[in-house]
Structure 1
Amino acid sequence: MQIRHKIKTLLVFSLIISCVYATAQKKNDVIVFSGVISNKIDDQIKIYDFQNQIVSEIKVSPQGKFAETLKLKDGFYTLKYEDASSKMFLESGSNLNVSFDAKDLKKSLKFSGKGGAVNSYIQKKSSKNWGIAEDLKIRYGLSETDFKRMMTKAKTSKDSLLLSQVGISENFKNKEKRNINYEYINEMIKYESDPAHYTANPDFKVSADFLPELKTFDYDNSDDFYFSNSYKNIVLGHYRRLGKELAERDKHDNYYLSYITAVSRAKNQDIKNILLYEHAKNAIAYTSDVQEYYKIYINSSTDQANNKVISQIYEKLLPISKGNMSPKFVGYDSYSGDKVSLDDLKGKYIYIDVWATWCGPCKVEIPHLGKIEEEYKGKNIQFLSISIDKRADIEKWKKMINDKKMGGIQVIADNAWDSKFIQDYFIKGIPRFILIDPQGKIISSNAPRPSEAKLRDLLNGLNI
């Protein structure tokens, strides 16, 4: 009976494969994606696009087999199974078969069928280091001449591998040849900035003619932007530099605003939409002028789906703009054993530090916060630290306060990240600092850190 059941299951699966393939033959704009997993663990394969968004969730049979017809834009995607993942290229009209062992996806992954040659090439290319020094101190410690020689040799070797491939479309080869050049340029750009960090030489500078390719570089090629991660990094770096230049020109420290202003001037709308969205979905919550930031974003983006997401975030952020009454919390447990509510502190300026014992950057700020507290001792300001540690870690929280001799009022939020006060302030990362006036109105929902000189400028300007 078991053998008969297995035969029946295999026949059904074969029929599914045949149907999927037959359907795909009628339309050459789809991808037949099928395969088998040995030592199956999970019942699902996920495919992510280049923006790390899930574009397909494929069911895996009890025997480890799967088959799906995909209608996706040609380009690179990430196949993810459990915690393992691999890059792959999907192209319309292909019939790609994949097989791997769930115990070691990377080493066992094999591609076959139409589209298999491209993906086998990608595997070969990613498995080599191309003679590039892996130790970054050694890599960036090289002289300019030696670094350029190393990268030129790597580029030549990559070109040779690509040229030797058969069964790969000329369209892919042409794009990949440009990608190899972008990889070279991207590494050369890193050499311009990274040695200052890895060789402890802050005055490091490359020669004026180090990278002539950038003088005529096209930052508006959407085909290459979608195809090449290195091209995308070069474009990102370009707009980051423009953003910094705008901030320096306008003599302000609102870099988020300067960056999105720079991106809003991009000529290619597809590239502009992606860069605007990728920045705004996180940065809009951290800019000191959310209304101006949103105005620039919404007037520049034409992607309605993206705009809906950013508009929803904006609506959540409006209540915590400067001048509005601060959200409140009631009855948080304090280190001293009392219950503390935000209203208890009215009548003073309140500088709030949102932190956790597990947060490295938070711990870096602790001694700086102690110095600020000492400097403003006796002034009309109260320093309040809110931990978002889990309630189960309350003893760990108390120990760190004691060990680091932390001052001010120390409280722990009632439900970690999910505490209403944390949600109301749309806090997605810590440390986060907030400044409130004596009437309970928000001065800044993203106040400077204690380690930043501009915090003293802000506090001194209030005549505390």
Structure 2
Amino acid sequence: MKNKVQYIGISLLAVFMTITSSAQMTFTAKIENRVGDTITIRGAQKFMKKIAVNKKGLFTETFEVTTGFYQFFDGSEYTQLYLKNEYDLLMTLNTKEFDESISYKGNGSLENNVLARKALDDEQFQLKYLSTDDEEVFAKAFEAKKASDAKLFSDVNLDENFRTVMTKRANQEYAMMQQMRESDLKSKEMVGKPSPTFTYENHKGGTSSLSDFKGKYVYIDVWATWCGPCLAEIPHLKKVEADYHDKNIVFLSISIDAKKDHEKWKNMVDQKQLGGVQLFADNDWNSKFVIEYGIQGIPRFILIDPNGNVLEADASRPSSPDLRKKLDALVK
């Protein structure tokens, strides 16, 4: 799913860890409609494990971990795992449904099913309520969401470290949701008005400004090299760019990486052969363009009309069929 859901928890990407054990855990998965021959598990302290997936979408791997939270990446989408030595975990997943299909059995399934349930609940809440203009409806749904999370974490059989961390993170997420809601309401007010402008470094040399593309529709991707969901959108963005390359639209990506990661940005653009116009913002999250759009989470997509006015301040992602419907109506 994840078509327009914001990436909550930029500051929550740090993985919470505890004590290392000398034991190992076993991780087994059955993946329907696999998207690649490997999956990747990432964690703190530069932990990264690539696991081969056979043609039937199966794998079993035994390895040592430090108790804590990890990211599972199938080549297209991410989900979070809670891993601990001595776990014997079985995951089932259908990539065509992803969050809706994730399920776990075995030792460690309790914590990981809570993670999967919460991810789906978060997504549905954001889609249904985060952008509503009705403050009463939002407030009621928000309180119900917090109560639902508390119930998820209340099971005394859950790992104590897991319960503690999840409760702390949930409280951080609630504050971020409030910020995102304020940003979303601000985005709605921007529609039809002149877009904030920019002049940023162009990967091909020199600088580019929004005004350079007047007379064309401009689809902007605000991203960063460290953002998993941003990277997951790249293959979809490449396909959309290819399909609309001869139309009256420019695809423009703005990296908000920190200045220290400037070379990392340049190298990633080259290595992944990123198309369109590739720009580097002048002051990461504090760049004027980012602030004026009230961007609190990435990836963020923006659609601007040929006159430089905002069509959508929070546009559909490249992976969403809604984007093509919108572009077809505009440029075909």
Given the two structures, how large is their TM-score scaled by the length of structure 2? 0.52
1:199 counterpart letter in structure 2: T
Match of 1:323 in 2: 192
Once the two structures are superposed, residues 173-192 of structure 1 have per-residue CA deviations (whole angstroms, 9 ceiling, x without a partner) of xxxxxxxxxxxxxxxxxxxx
Question: Is 1:283 matched with 2:188?
Answer: no
Match of 1:406 in 2: 274
Match of 2:308 in 1: 440
Following superposition, the deviation at residue 256 of structure 1 comes to 2.7
Following superposition, the deviation at residue 456 of structure 1 comes to 1.1
Aligned pairs for 1:255-274 within 5 A:
256-257=130-131, 261=137, 264=140
Match of 1:198 in 2: 91
User: Aligned partners of 2:325, 2:147: CA distance in 1, in Å?
Assistant: 38
2:130 counterpart letter in structure 1: Y
Q: Secondary structure at the match of 1:261?
A: helix
User: Aligned partners of 1:263, 1:137: CA distance in 2, in Å?
Assistant: 40
Match of 2:321 in 1: 453
Change (3 A) 1:386 1:290: closer
Aligned pairs for 1:247-396 within 5 A:
254=128, 256-257=130-131, 261=137, 264=140, 281-283=175-177, 286=180, 290-291=184-185, 317=186, 321-330=190-199, 332-396=200-264
CA contact (8 A) 2:188 2:313 kept: no
CA contact (8 A) 1:322 1:445 kept: yes
Q: Secondary structure at the match of 1:199?
A: strand
2:222 counterpart letter in structure 1: V
User: Aligned partners of 2:319, 2:266: CA distance in 1, in Å?
Assistant: 23
Change (3 A) 1:263 1:399: same
Identity level (%): 40
Following superposition, the deviation at residue 264 of structure 1 comes to 1.4
RMSD, aligned CA: 5.0
User: Aligned partners of 2:104, 2:301: CA distance in 1, in Å?
Assistant: 36
Following superposition, the deviation at residue 260 of structure 1 comes to 7.9
User: Aligned partners of 2:142, 2:260: CA distance in 1, in Å?
Assistant: 49
Q: Secondary structure at the match of 2:296?
A: coil
Q: Secondary structure at the match of 2:294?
A: coil
1:360 counterpart letter in structure 2: G
User: Aligned partners of 2:136, 2:271: CA distance in 1, in Å?
Assistant: 42
User: Aligned partners of 1:402, 1:410: CA distance in 2, in Å?
Assistant: 10
Following superposition, the deviation at residue 434 of structure 1 comes to 1.1
Once the two structures are superposed, residues 3-62 of structure 1 have per-residue CA deviations (whole angstroms, 9 ceiling, x without a partner) of xxxxxxxxxxxxxxxxxxxxxxxxxxxxxxxxxxxxxxxxxxxxxxxxxxxxxxxxxxxx
Aligned pairs for 1:238-249 within 5 A:
240=121, 244=124
Q: Secondary structure at the match of 1:264?
A: helix
Report which of the two structures shows the higher radius of gyration computed on alpha carbons. 1
Aligned pairs for 1:50-129 within 5 A:
none
User: Aligned partners of 2:314, 2:262: CA distance in 1, in Å?
Assistant: 26
1:376 counterpart letter in structure 2: Y
Change (3 A) 1:205 1:456: same
Following superposition, the deviation at residue 254 of structure 1 comes to 4.4
Change (3 A) 1:389 1:405: same
Ranges in structure 2 where 5+ consecutive residues have no aligned partner: 1-15, 29-89, 95-100, 106-110, 151-170
Following superposition, the deviation at residue 334 of structure 1 comes to 0.5
**Divergent runs of 4+, >6 A:** 203-206, 265-268, 277-280
Following superposition, the deviation at residue 354 of structure 1 comes to 1.1
User: Aligned partners of 1:285, 1:325: CA distance in 2, in Å?
Assistant: 23
Change (3 A) 1:419 1:200: closer
1:394 counterpart letter in structure 2: H
**Count of matched residue positions in the alignment of Structure 1 and Structure 2:** 225
User: Aligned partners of 2:239, 2:275: CA distance in 1, in Å?
Assistant: 10
Following superposition, the deviation at residue 461 of structure 1 comes to 2.9
More helix by share: 1
CA contact (8 A) 1:136 1:198 kept: no
More strand by share: 2
Change (3 A) 1:281 1:288: closer
User: Aligned partners of 1:347, 1:374: CA distance in 2, in Å?
Assistant: 20
Following superposition, the deviation at residue 271 of structure 1 comes to 6.7
Given the two structures, how large is their TM-score scaled by the length of structure 1? 0.39
User: Aligned partners of 2:223, 2:143: CA distance in 1, in Å?
Assistant: 41
Match of 1:111 in 2: none
CA contact (8 A) 2:92 2:104 kept: no
User: Aligned partners of 1:341, 1:457: CA distance in 2, in Å?
Assistant: 27
Of 418, 430, 434, the match for 2:286: 418
Following superposition, the deviation at residue 283 of structure 1 comes to 3.4
1:328 counterpart letter in structure 2: T
User: Aligned partners of 1:354, 1:265: CA distance in 2, in Å?
Assistant: 29
Aligned pairs for 1:124-135 within 5 A:
none
User: Aligned partners of 2:25, 2:273: CA distance in 1, in Å?
Assistant: 39
Following superposition, the deviation at residue 265 of structure 1 comes to 6.3
Change (3 A) 1:256 1:397: same
Change (3 A) 1:266 1:433: closer
Q: Secondary structure at the match of 2:130?
A: helix
Q: Secondary structure at the match of 1:340?
A: strand
